[in-house]
Amino acid sequence: MLNIGNLIIESLDYIFIVDKDYNIIYNSRFDRHFSEKSGESPWADMVNRNFFEVYPDLDRENSNIVRSMETQSIVVNKKQRYWDYMGREYFTNNVTIPLRRKGELAAVVELASDAKEGGTDSTEDDRRFEEFVSHLKKEASLITFDSILTKNREMRACIEKARFLSRLPSPTLICGETGTGKELFAQAMITYSGAPRSKVVIQNCATVPENLMEAILFGTVKGAYTDAQNKEGLFAQADGGVLFLDELNSIPFQVQSKLLRVLQDGTFRPLGSSVDRQVDVKVIGAMNIDPVEAIERKILRSDFFYRFSGGLIDLPPLRQRKEDIDLYIRYYIEYYNDVYNKEIQGIDRQVRKLFQDYSWEGNVRELKNTIESMIASVSGQRVLTREQIPEYMLRRMDPDPQTAEKTARVREQMEQIREDEKIPYYMILEETEREMLHRAMTMAGGNKTRAAEILGIPRKTLDYRLEKLKP
């Protein structure tokens, strides 16, 4: 919940609430102008009427209410002039905030202050409004469960489960493909847990060298190894709070057993120490590969996983929640319109069909980057078309003839093998993997980090496979 205190009272003149069906359910102008009058309010019939009926001449494309409703984001609009159905004129600075209940939009609330044209009073009013907006955005920057946009039933169930697990001491593991929102869920859980921000520690395990992981997690005492000093580890730093370990599967196999002990009884021993230390830490882990697969590949201990299994959240990929695609398209168009100072209104029918049929292997992150790329490249038009779709996506939407040819050749080889012959499994597997790596590197423009994200594997794994399968 936003804690904006007296800033509302001091900086704003009106509060206006419209439900998701654009029905006006509250307008403080009634109270402001008529609370001290005993007669009938000529505006009393505005409540429960449709927003567009009350403001018939409003430009829908530039309306805060409409933009906030469609993008489910905070929208700021200064010096807005408009009229109601009775011809009354308004000139205001507005900030509009979406209100969500259980992950779904319920209404939007518009906070407005009267604006003045020119003069020192206008400058002071603008300063106060800017101060209010700055404070509001700072408070809103904390990620909450309402920050997670979705219409999908399975995702809403994940949100409710995460909300429940947030305040339990037991560890939580968030699984899902790259770009499905694992970090967003973790941040929302941290906010909901109420843990002091000074006691929240976040670590991407894939960025820590294997030989330093134990020291990073548990700390060291002087003399533990050459140049070692007394230094607190992540668990000591997060004592009384939350430790978020992203890419949990990157923790070395032998260190997982020591981490398991902390999860079980809250004790650990700093590297080089002979004394145990007790901590109270809520651990949230995240990984982008299936835990069962990770166990089979010997990169995740089964007992380590089972300690998390009671708090498992499995996020569905975007391709399994098609109803969210249009929602994210609208949201990111609005977002990048502000970033690039564009006025894009949407996408055409062909692009919408292509986006609905596309596999989105990079999930929401890929869709976000796609919209940004399309808006950044467009000029002189208000609707995004196929011409703005990134080239790598078009190649995936329209299969490469060479790839199709190779697939057909492998299938033909398999069909020609006699029943008494051995199948050249590893040869076929390596050829297929080599092709996948090549395609990922091409799609990523040679960027290995991006290619690893597309494939859903750690960067270190990509480096190893590229070297091993080098022609």
Question: What is the CATH number for 231?
Answer: 3.40.50.300
Final residue in a domain of this structure, among 109, 140, 171:
140
Task: State the DSSP string of 356-401.
Answer: HHS--TTHHHHHHHHHHHHHHH--S-SEE-GGGS-HHHHHHHS--H
pLDDT at 37: 42
Residue 359 sits in a domain of what CATH number?
1.10.8.60
At 9 the pLDDT is 44
pLDDT score recorded for residue 304: 94
24 alpha carbon, distance to own chain's centre = 31
Output the domain CATH number for residue 92.
3.30.450.20
Q: 353 and 367: one domain?
A: yes
Residue 12 lies in a domain: yes
Sort strands 242-246 and 200-204 into parallel, antiparallel or unpaired: parallel
| Final residue belonging to a domain, choices 350, 366, 397 | 397
* 214 & 354 share domain: no
pTM value is: 0.63
pLDDT of residue 402: 56
- Tell me if 403 is assigned to some domain: no
- DSSP result, 287-344: ESS-HHHHHHTTSS-HHHHHHHGGGEEEPPPGGG-THHHHHHHHHHHHHHHHHHT---
| Residue 145 placed within a domain | no
Same domain, 130 and 27: yes
Q: Answer yes or no: is 148 within a domain.
A: no
Residue 359 within a domain: yes
Pair 432, 302 in one domain: no
- pLDDT for 261 equals 93
Structural domain includes residue 212: yes
Distance from C-alpha of 431 to C-alpha of 205, rounded to nearest angstrom:
31
Domain of residue 324, residue span: 319-397
pLDDT in tens, the chain (471 residues): 344 444 444 556 778 899 989 999 887 764 444 444 444 444 555 778 889 888 888 877 778 888 888 877 788 888 888 888 888 888 888 888 888 775 578 899 988 888 777 655 566 767 777 777 776 766 666 788 988 999 999 999 999 999 999 999 999 999 999 999 999 999 999 999 989 888 999 999 999 998 899 999 999 888 777 777 888 999 999 999 999 999 999 999 999 999 999 999 999 999 888 899 999 999 999 999 999 989 998 999 999 999 998 999 999 999 999 999 999 999 999 889 988 889 899 999 999 999 999 999 999 999 999 999 999 999 889 999 999 999 888 887 765 555 556 556 666 665 665 555 565 666 667 777 877 887 788 777 778 887 887 887 888 888 878 887 776
Shared domain check, 120 and 228: no
User: Do 266 and 309 fall into the same domain?
Assistant: yes
- Asked if residue 177 and residue 299 are part of one domain, the reply reads yes
Q: Work out how many domains the chain is built from and give that number.
A: 4
Name the domain boundary from 314, 332, 364: 314
Residues 385 and 430 in one domain: no
Q: Is position 57 within any domain?
A: yes
Same domain? 331 vs 287: no
Q: Are residues 176 and 274 in the same domain?
A: yes
- 223 & 335 share domain: no
From 385, 298, 318, 40, select the one nearest 155 (Cα to Cα).
318
> Is 1 within a domain?
no
Q: Are 134 and 41 found together in one domain?
A: yes
- What pLDDT does 42 receive? 47
The distance from CA 381 to its chain's CA centroid, rounded to whole angstroms, is: 28
User: Please, what sign has the CA dihedral across residues 210, 312, 368, 107?
Assistant: negative
